[in-house]
Every structure is written in C-alpha cells, then in structure tokens.
Structure 1
C-alpha cells in the first residue's frame, strides 16, 4: 500500500515537471519532448506552432486551381539579402524570419544541384535575437543530420539504404530563442526562384511562438556543450526500452467471431499508459483492417480506428518502432500514448470481418489528477476507396484536390497521423502538400512541400525506415504501385488549437489511376470537442486490396511466368534488377532487366513447369537502342539468337521454339553474343514474361 502511494505521488509530480518550468531552455524542451504525458495537458506556457517552408508562392488563392496546386515547392524564400561580411558581399536566402519568444522544433530538408547534376552542400546559418553573428553555422547536411549539433535520433535521416542524395534530413534538436530567429542559406551554385534551372532546396521549419512575456533562454553552442548530458538522456529515452509508470493492468482475451466484442473497463481518475494487443487470424491483413479499436472516455466516443492503422502498420504486418507505437518481432502491437480520463474508460475491440480473430488485449494504467488542462485522446480514421487521381487530365496536378484528414471543433492539440495508401500505378502518389488551418485561419499556417517531406523522407523513396517521430514500415507502393504506410508523430511540434483545426493533404498523383487513401488523425482535446470523421464499419469490413489486379489498374497477361519473378541460378557478369514502368507494355508493368554486361556473360534463370510434356515457349522481350544480341537456350538446347536493338523502346513476343520440359524446375540460359552495329554497347537484355503453350 505504501509503495502504491509513493508511485502515485511520483506520477503526479512527473506529469507537471516540464510544464511548471519557469523558463524555456534547451534542457526543458528536451525534457518536454521525452515526456509523453505532457501532450495530454494543454500547453503551459501557451504557444502556437507554425511552419516556414519552400512551398510554391503562387499558391495564394484556392479558387485559382492551377496556382493553388502549383508544384515548384523548392528554392522559395522569405527574401534575398546581400550582406557585407569582412569586406565581401554575401548573398543569403532567408528561409525563416520570426519574432520571438519561440523555438525551432523540427527542421527537415533535401536538396540537389542544377538539373540534379550535382548535390550541393550550401551553408546554413541561424541568427538569434538580432545578432549579426550566427548562433549556428555550417554545411546544411552537417547541421541537419551529420551530427554537428546532436546524434540520432535528434539529428537523423531515413534509411541508410536510401542513396544519400535522395534522403530526407531531419533535425529534432530544439533551438530556443528569446526575441527573434532568422534562418538563411548560402551556396555558390546557381539559385533561381523555384529552381527551374538552378539548385533545388526543399525545406520545412516547424517553430513555436510563445505568448508574450514567456522567458526563453536562447540557444548557443556553449550552452549546447553544457547540455550534453541532457541530450544523451533524451537520446536514450527516445530510442530505449520504455516501461510506463503503471500500477494496474486490465486484460481481456479470447476468440472474436463476426460482430463480437471484448471490452476492458477502467474506473476512477486514471490515465492509460500502454495498450498492447496481439491478434491471431488465418488472414492477418484482413484482421488488422476489420478488427476495430473503439474507446470511450468519460462517456464520450473518442477513438474509432482499425487496429492496424492505430498502431501504425496499416494492414501489412511489419516490425518497427516509434516513440508512440510499435510492432514487435512476435507480432505484438503496442501503443504508448498517454490517455487520461476523469471517471471512466471503455476500451473495446470489435471484429467486423467474416472470419474469427483471436485477440489478447492488455491495458496498463495509473492514477491521474484530472484538471482544467487535462485532455482526452482522440483518433479518427477514414478511407477514400478506389478514388480517381487526376481524372481525364492531360497534365499531372491539373485535377489534384485536397483531402481533409480531419476538422476538429473545440480546444486541443494535434499530435500526428498515419496514412495508408494502396497505389494503383507504378508512379509516385504523394506529390501533394499538407495545409493546416488553426483557429479559423483563412490561409494555412502550415503549407508543405510534398507528402513524403511531411513524413520525413524525400524523393518518393520506397525503403523502410523507423524513427521516434517519423516512420515508413512499408514503402513498396511508392514507385512500383501497391501498398505503403507513413506516420508522422509530433512531440515539440504538436499543434495547439483553441477553437478549431483543419488538416488537409493534397491528392496529387503523377498518373491517372485509382488509389485507396486512408488517413488516421491523432489529437488530444478538452471534453466536448467534435470531429467531422464518423465511424465507418462498412469500410473497415470491406475486403482489403492486395494487388493492383484487385484495383483493375494494371496490365496483366494471364497465365504467364513473369520474368521479374524468376529465380536466378547463376550469372557471370552484369547487374540484375526488377525494372518498373507502366510505359513499355510490360505485363505487371515490370521486367527482369540484365544490364551492363560484356560479350560472353551468361545468365541462367529457373522456371517452373507443373506437368511434364512438350511445350512451345514464347518470350516477351524488350528492345531498345542499348540492348544486345543474345543466344537463348532452354535446358542447354539452343533456341534462338535474338537481336534486341531497336530505335526506341518497345516489347515484342518472340517464339523460342518447341521443347520437352520436365515437371518441376527447368533452365533458360541467356548468353551475350554481341551488339548490333547501331547499338550503344551496354549489353542490355530484358525479359517481361515467358509463355508456355502445350503442344498436342
């Protein structure tokens, strides 16, 4: 009993540790960042959160469609300054110029040189409180994610497998300022507005502005050194194993048949500190979508979300970890959102699918002192199903439109979102920008530069990554078409609102196709707040989309063996890739691409045959100006010599002949024999598919 009282006292003390600070400092902001429960109380001292970015400045009037969705979201500035420094004129491009007191709380960027030829590394400078001497100065990549200020995850890019020049660069180390902040960029590479010829710099800077009179200690490099222990502790808490301050566990487990529910009930003034859930079903993808998490706090419905979306994986299991959500290696889903309530909480799982689901649910909680700053946790979900991207439009973006994630009326704090997409085309689906309106703004105080930029990465890259505040557990659908899921979680960059918040994201696709687009929005709000997204049981129960064939958006030749799916037995040179394009008439919009070979190089592919017999083999092959002459053999029997040179790119079927094939694995051998006299000698060979026709 004495231990329980001590724990309760500790929880009450820790919940006010950051907000009771008399002065905003680097250390206090780091402490606030790593305190999950701080988000559950309306901010004190009060602040607004806004964004400076390189969005296209033509976007001024929503009634002017072309301008509103303008896409030159790079190398756009507040202004351009020419400053005298040590007797020389220095041109600086101003990215942000803001009165304080305040703090930069997230800084994202990516860049490239003119026409992508050279990746620049210009100088970033951050001037504080009117000083002519920058508090921070260095190559932009060093400042953002090369450890000049801090290590990961406070300073972190995305997947190390992503080519460096195509990464998003993220800085979460807070930079407080007492009176004023100006951020500039300088480079010796040609820069023109919108980067139509010169260097392209894309950036987003999220910053707080505190209420007048708030005392803020401005950042300095000396103070950064003094805070090394606080930084190390923040890094540890952001990435380390987390044990919530909970002294009670409520559990429920069993089989959920169609329409059945299980509920964990909590009473008294408490806070949910952790929800862990493990599902077992024959069809896990469908179970993750059709099993819904519903939560009522103090009699108000606050959460209605499919469990896969709530825990940040959509409906494809993928091990990952953020600061607020996680999927463990054994499939356990975990949420660390702190969810306070004054009197009661009902946490319900319901199976809306056609097949039974086994569920094991555990809710950990502890005491919470409810006050006039305490807020309920909310999450809402919707899916735009088989919607058109740019219908009957000749130019990409002409039919872009804004998708409303959520509009909330009331008082609260917006804390993040997860977006699950099934992309119907082998092209980038997320060119669109976020637009966030706070408390009735007529123009958004957050106007972004691209969906992937909002979610922390860049250049529509498909590689998986996870970090405390940004994650892509699966990005397979980004360029190839198919399934992707992105999450952005907010700590210091959470957005307070006193009357309302409206979050829109542009649907801006590079192809005319169909898309499933399912955002989940997370926010805290005082009792009585309302959102415009209602529960949608029909959408959650609907069969999940598993392939582009389900979407009806892909060209497929029935009954063939796709070249990109054949196993490579051996090769003596060159590189093998799965090349993706919807342009050249490839089945499944992919081919097996063997490139950069030399004469004499040999590739052996394995193809399966269900029943032994005599077959006619037909290969759909690519031809282009840098494709080679190749000898093709089937089970070591010479089939044909094929010259794949052509003026232009196309694919065509070539009969290889008739062969006796064994049941099981057979071999297709390709040997580079030479080059057409007109060809560029890169030794290319491309196999779209093999067709096996039984010979009677």
Structure 2
C-alpha cells in the first residue's frame, strides 16, 4: 500500500517517464539523456568537456596549456599557466579544425560556440561524424545550425528547448547526440579570412541503448521547384527514424504575404500525396494570420516570438501597411519548429517539402490580393534535423563559399 502511494506521488510530481526508473536497481539507474525528469537519479555516467582549454576532454587535462603556447598568452602574461591561457582557437583561411574527437560510447549533451573574426558565419561549416563513418551526419553552415542564418549583426535572440542564441552571438545546442564508438566534430573555414572560435562540447561517457538513433542535420538552399511549387526540406532518407526539427530562412522577394505554403511529410512509400499535410507556413511554425499584431491606433506589424518549440524571427519587423507592397521585396525572416513532443516517426522512408505560396493581385491595403493563390520564387534556405539508424544516404553538395555568403549580404538580388 505504501509503495503504491509513493508511486502515485512520483507520477504526479515528475510524470510517468521517470517512475519506471525508480523501480530499477541502483546500478541500473544511469539515464543516457539528462533532463528534469531524471536529474535527481544517480548515474555511473562520467562528465567530459572538450574545448580550447582541454582539447582531448581527458580527466585532469583542463587549463594546462603553457603560457608560450596559449592563444591568450599576452593577456595572461602576468598570471601564467591556469589563468585563461588558451580560451580560443584561430582557424586559418581554407583549413579545417577538429573541434573534438571523443572515443567510446556516450551522448553529447550541449555545444556552445561563438565565432569571431571577419569570416561570415556561412563560411564556417560544421560537420559531425558518428563512429567511423566516412561522410558526416551533420553538415551545415554554423549559423544556420543554430537557427541564425542571416549572418553577423542579424543574430536573433532564441529561447527554445534545444537551441539558444544569446546576445553577443552565443550559440547553444542542447540536441542530445548519442554515439557508440566515436564522435568527431570539425569546423571548416572556407573563407579567405581567419576565423576565431570559442567553444565547448559537453558530453557524457555512458552506455547507449540499442534502439537509440543517430542525430542528423542537413542544410539546403534554393527556390521552390518551378513545376511543383515545392521547396524540398529533406529527401532520400532511408531507414527507421524520427524527424525532430526545421529551421527555415525565408527571403520574401514579392509584395504581400508570402507564407501560405503547406508543409508536407511523405512517409514510408508516399508518392503523389503525403500522410501529413499542414495548413500554411506560419501555422506549421505555430503562429497564425501572417504573424501580424494589429494596433487599433496604428498599423499592422509583424511580431517576432521565440518559444520552447517554435519561433518567428524577423530581422527587421515590418509595418505591413507601409512595407508589404514595395515592389523590391527583400524581407528577411527566420522560422524554427522543434518536434520534441511530436516527432514525426517513419519506418523506412521520409521526404519533407514546403510550398512557396502567396496571393495574386496584391496592392496597398490588400494583403491577400484578389483572394487567389500565387506560387512564389523566394530565396529559401533550411536545416532539417532528425534521428535515424545508420547508414544515412548521401547529402546534397553544399554550394561554394561565394554562393553561400552572397545570400547574407544586404541588397543581394
């Protein structure tokens, strides 16, 4: 009787997800993934951290850089070893630096970085390789990975469960990333200028369940297909897994509202028609009615927001009445959607698309034009996030550095 009362208490306090752990013997209480529901459980996992002050992550190896070898040797010259001697790494132009190479089984719990120097964020390509794979499971410009695709000076503030972007370009990922043999992270500087990076990779050395999928993130950029009107967020995924997130960088080039397109998930053999179809772009990103807030004494204004699972990030919030009808367009937005509580599960195949759709006959004062749809040709870039069993299919080739960085410059046609 007392045990049943105790179990009811824990269910009410922390949810059923943690109750099963209380029934395990102490030696088995080693949660692979950290979280509020398991935070109080003791574990045999070991905490490790890789960064400039401990490039191997090994025990007792932090802050040991000799003064003569440190990146901040001048700043630390009066204090010496152990006083923030090597807090950052400089990556020369055209080179790739190994951020971390962890061996054994474990889970990356958190990645923090901030990028300095003159190089564009899109010149910094983040790649992550699991175990001994030859092709990366994560390949994306660093800024876009953290839902900040508009470059220096246009970093949004993001307060979400798995991505946080804080003032001063503090990029954080809390995606949980299990590995069984090895985790190798690299950053390529594709620019002609040096790149400075401060970073930290926090991970746990622990056993990984047999049914744990590997984390993936894939970057794409382009326009909607002329024939179908759809932009492909992800395609060619084979194997079992779950889709867990989307970042979309949307550059609207036409007057009027630009977000009527539906997001569609083609699962496990779907061809002409999807299993999951939404009702509009802003609806998928958990907004509504064009993200507009109306002031009865003023104009309609786009309203940015950042929440645990979704956000709309206008680089320059627009007065809809004044700016939506300019012929030159060039309105710049970011949107994110994390499927943390509603992952899209697939058994052997996945494709994800979004239509690029607006309205015909848009004129000043008529944001919806004549009430009929118009396929658009806006500039779109995206990162798709998912877990799956390996191996994964090859990723599309990234555009060259000039093409990628050109899209972040003001006034780019």
Range of TM-score over shorter length: 0.5 to 0.7
* Offset of residue 459 of structure 1: 1.8
1:414 to 240, 243, 264: 243
Whether 1:474 and 2:314 are equivalent positions in the alignment is: yes
Give the conservation status (yes or no) of the 8 Å contact 1:266–1:344: yes
User: Comparing both chains, which one has the higher relative contact order based on Cα–Cα distances under 8 Å and sequence gaps of 6 or more?
Assistant: 2
Partner of 2:177: 339
Give the conservation status (yes or no) of the 8 Å contact 2:249–2:381: yes
* Offset of residue 493 of structure 1: 0.4
* Offset of residue 475 of structure 1: 5.6
Partner of 2:358: 509
Tell me the TM-score normalized by structure 2. 0.67
Going from structure 1 to structure 2, the CA distance change for 1:434 and 1:29 (only over 3 Å counts) comes to farther
Partner of 1:103: none
Partner of 2:341: 492
* Offset of residue 334 of structure 1: 0.5
Give the conservation status (yes or no) of the 8 Å contact 2:224–2:230: no
Whether 1:458 and 2:288 are equivalent positions in the alignment is: yes
Q: Secondary structure at the match of 1:453?
A: helix
1:225-244 alignment runs, 5 A limit: none
Aligned length: 309
* Offset of residue 364 of structure 1: 0.6
Partner of 1:671: none
Q: Note the residue ranges of structure 1 that are not aligned, 5 or more in a row.
A: 1-22, 41-232, 238-244, 392-398, 552-696
Whether 1:405 and 2:245 are equivalent positions in the alignment is: no
Give the conservation status (yes or no) of the 8 Å contact 2:224–2:356: no
Partner of 1:373: 211
Q: Note the residue ranges of structure 2 that are not aligned, 5 or more in a row.
A: 1-10, 21-29, 40-44, 53-87, 292-301, 325-329, 361-374
Partner of 2:372: none
* Offset of residue 332 of structure 1: 1.1
Partner of 1:274: 110
Going from structure 1 to structure 2, the CA distance change for 1:455 and 1:282 (only over 3 Å counts) comes to same
Structure exhibiting the larger radius of gyration computed from Cα positions:
1
* Offset of residue 30 of structure 1: 9.7
Partner of 1:424: 253
Going from structure 1 to structure 2, the CA distance change for 1:289 and 1:275 (only over 3 Å counts) comes to same
Tell me the TM-score normalized by structure 1. 0.41
Question: Pairwise CA RMSD of aligned residues?
Answer: 3.1
1:312 to 140, 147, 151: 147
2:278 to 438, 442, 448: 448
Q: Secondary structure at the match of 2:406?
A: coil
Deviations 1:219-259 (A, max 9, x none): xxxxxxxxxxxxxx88xx9xxxxxxx871111133222322
**Distance (whole Å) between structure 1 residues aligned to residue 337 and residue 147 of structure 2:** 10
Give the conservation status (yes or no) of the 8 Å contact 1:376–1:526: yes
* Offset of residue 404 of structure 1: 1.6
**Distance (whole Å) between structure 2 residues aligned to residue 366 and residue 324 of structure 1:** 17
Give the conservation status (yes or no) of the 8 Å contact 2:156–2:315: no
Give the conservation status (yes or no) of the 8 Å contact 1:432–1:506: yes
1:297 to 125, 130, 137: 130
Give the conservation status (yes or no) of the 8 Å contact 1:406–1:531: no
Q: Secondary structure at the match of 1:383?
A: strand
**Distance (whole Å) between structure 2 residues aligned to residue 360 and residue 531 of structure 1:** 30
Partner of 1:288: 121
Give the conservation status (yes or no) of the 8 Å contact 2:160–2:309: yes
